[in-house]
Structure 1
Amino acid sequence: MAVDTAPATPAGQAPAQRPQGPSRLRLLGTGDGVITFVLVAFLLVAGFTVEGFASSRNTGFLLLDVVVIMLIALPLTLVIVTGEIDLSVASTVGLTSAVMGQLWFSGLPLELIIPICLLLGAFLGAVNGFLVTRLGLPSLAVTIGTLALYRGLAFVVLGDRAVADFPRSWTGWALSSIGTTGIPVVVVPLLVLVVLTGVVLHATPIGRSLYAMGNSEDAARFSGIGVERTKFWLFVVTGAVAALGGIYWTLRYGSARADNAQGLELQVIAAILLGGVSIFGGSGGLVGVIAGALLLGSLRNALQLVNVPSDVLNIVTGVLLIIAVVTPQVAAAVRGRRRPRGRPAAP
């Protein structure tokens, strides 16, 4: 199935650079294919060499660990495809958890707390979106600032306390699995969101416009794309989804804390970049992102099973993040040197 990601070009304007998103459903020879192959190879090796890795019980724990990473990676992938970034997602998770705990401690029912927290996340995303799209500030600087701001507000709301008396009916659902398979129930709605996001990104004009923005904002504007409006709402959706992740995180661990999910943003971004999404925008696909999240989660899980310290796990995440950023640049440089002089690059 071909997907034409090039926006229309008005008369008198230079043609826009063709976005580099997946143009057809193929895996071999693409970033999606490479990371998927690495994932399958690692699962096979770990399954035979790491005791307990292939058990249904461990599979359930592994999937529970990557659920929030995958969830937040969905909208953040769209943000990065446009050439922006949001580093405040983990702090949004933490602030949502703190507010959720404080409201529950105050006596409000969860049926009211959950929509309040989702609205809070959307508001936090809107703050990021306003600063980036209306004031023209770089998203990297803005979200580094709100990363610290939102985490600080979480400690203002809840302090060092932990609220842990949530109803068993809610916490039990967050940990429940499908029959005896070990697959968490929460994976089902996550898969629905994955499919919806994939359709939007790869099979709709919205997705094509996101790739166009990532390649050239000016060309996208000349093509009639509302760049600022689209980016603003992407930040809003990312904030709301991060808040949803905060709600699930709190129910899964049965504890609302201001320091929940600290450092999670690095795992999410590492998964996205490992999946072949360019940090500069304009290229990448969702299949690779899902494979990247599963690879990162599987690697950390296998290392935990062989009693590797948590500090080493953070080092591994950092190394993978650096590799994910450097590898595409090295590959592009190698291709450029191999290309005969005077011969244009292949589209």
Structure 2
Amino acid sequence: MRGVVRGLSSWEAVVVIALVVVVAVGALAIEGVASPRFWRFVSLEVIPIALIALPMTLVIITGEIDLSVASVLGLTCATMGQLWVWGVTSLPLLIAAALLLGALLGAVNGLFVTGFGLPSLAVTIGTLALYRGLAYVILGDRAVADYPPEWASAAIAPIPGLTIPWMIIVVAVLAAGFGVVLHATPIGRGLYAMGNNAEAARFTGISVRRTTFWLFVATGAMSALAGVFWTLRYASARADNGNGLELAVIAAVLLGGVSIFGGRGRLAGVLAAVLLLGTLRNALQLADVPANTLTIITGSLLIVSVVGPNVVVKLRARKDRSWQRGVPWRFSPR
């Protein structure tokens, strides 16, 4: 009984319940939410967010953060566009170049954080501007949009018999891999240890600097993969692709129950939050809610995502103390 109550009181359960409520209310109140076409658009929107949120979850669990992810995506798109202009027409070669570039950009972040001991917040704010600026240096205000139509068709092609794009399978496979690493390996236990106390983790034999460096490399590579999908989906490479996407990614990770201070969080909650935000945003757009209002809602959810999990943790701790004393638990605001 106690385990069931603990499960229901977890923040991840709150996010899943909120997702169910949003889907149910949206289906009843907004025409089109229950249609397969709506869920196709939701899937297409959440794919790049989910791809970046996977490594971002691990980064934030260690107590670090990467604000440059959207700029890495934009620089990747710009580079793909310029390579196409220069005559590189092989899609596998373009994808390989994009992933290599993303890994290198992530390595630059990791080098500044681990090699020079700089705070990741300050470093990635700087590279957020630097990488976006480089994207504009490469493409300016141009848009490279003469890719073969079949590339876009292949990127957003649905799973046979469904309307959901096949890239969701790629996201699911990657999510399973990240989930195993985080929750079922010594590496994952080390990440939580780093988030709780990096110095203590170092004394237990965990290579904090090396681990942090490779996490930033992974974040850069996954942001580049999201950039590849973005370019192919819209069949357009622009320097401003993905502008502001870092807000959606971080909101999803924090809303999913990952502590901004590190040391706490689960990948399942993050994936549920990604789907919740994507569903809510598309449902409100379908209801003709203004874009400014959507931004306000996203910001409000970001605040809730920081406060909410901490409130749930405190309530669970108080409830556990009551159980240990044999006293029925009651909520009290004091």
| TM-score, with structure 1 as normaliser | 0.88
- Measured in 2, the distance between the counterparts of 1:27 and 1:167 equals 49
One-letter code aligned to 2:10 = T
Residues 126-145 of structure 1: matches in 2 within 5 Å?
Answer: 126-145=107-126
Alignment of 1:125-274 (within 5 A): 125-274=106-255
Higher helix fraction: Structure 1 or Structure 2?
2
Amino acid at match of 1:60: R
Separation (CA, whole Å) in 1 of partners of 2:33 and 2:287: 10
- 1:48 and 2:28 equivalent? yes
Deviation at 1:329, TM superposition (A): 3.9
Report the Cα distance in structure 2 between the residues aligned to 1:339 and 1:116, rounded to whole angstroms.
52
Aligned to 2:98: 117
Alpha carbons 2:54, 2:178 under 8 Å: kept: yes
Matched, 1:314 2:295: yes
Query: How far 1:256 sits from its partner (Å)?
Result: 0.3
Shift of 1:37: 1.3
Structure 1 window deviating more from structure 2 (65-74 vs 37-46): it is 37-46
Once the two structures are superposed, residues 3-38 of structure 1 have per-residue CA deviations (whole angstroms, 9 ceiling, x without a partner) of xxxxxxxxxxxxxxxxxxxx99x8422121111111
Q: For 1:244-269, what per-residue CA distance to the aligned partner results, in whole angstroms no more than 9, with x for missing partners?
A: 10010000011000000000000000
**CA–CA distance in structure 1, aligned partners of residues 161 and 146 of structure 2:** 28
Unpaired runs of at least 5, structure 2:
325-334
Aligned-residue sequence identity (percent) comes to 61
1-structure distance, mates of 2:7, 2:164: 26
Bigger drift between 281-290 and 175-184 goes to 175-184
AA paired with 1:31?
A: W
CA separation in 1, counterparts of 2:140 and 2:200? 48
Q: Report whether the alignment pairs 1:90 with 2:70.
A: yes
Runs of 4+ in 1 over 3 A off after TM superposition: 328-340
Alpha-carbon distance in 1 for matches of 2:7, 2:234: 37
Identify the residue that residue 19 of structure 1 maps to in structure 2. none
Assess, with a 3 A threshold, how the Cα gap between structure 1 residues 93 and 314 changes in structure 2: closer, same or farther. same
**How many pairs align?**
320
Offset at residue 337 of structure 1 (A) = 8.3
Q: Name the stretch that deviates more: 36-45 or 263-272.
A: 36-45
Could you tell me how far apart the structure 1 residues matched to 2:88 and 2:310 are? 51
**Does structure 1 retain, via aligned residues, the 8 Å contact 2:9–2:312?**
no
* Aligned residue runs from structure 1 range 288-303, under 5 A: 288-303=269-284
Per-residue CA deviations over 1:61-98 (Å, capped at 9, x if unaligned) read 11100000011000010000000000000000000000
Of 49, 55, 61 in structure 2, the residue corresponding to residue 75 of structure 1 is 55
TM-score for both structures, normalised by structure 2: 0.91
Q: Which amino acid aligns with 1:323?
A: V
Taking the aligned partners of 2:313 and 2:169, their CA distance within structure 1 comes to 38
User: What amino acid sits opposite 1:62 in the alignment?
Assistant: V
1:243 alignment partner AA: A
Which range moved further: 225-234 or 160-169?
160-169
Q: CA deviation at 1:169?
A: 2.0
**Equivalent residue for 1:38?**
18
2:327 counterpart residue number: none
Structure 1: segments with no counterpart, 5+ residues = 1-22
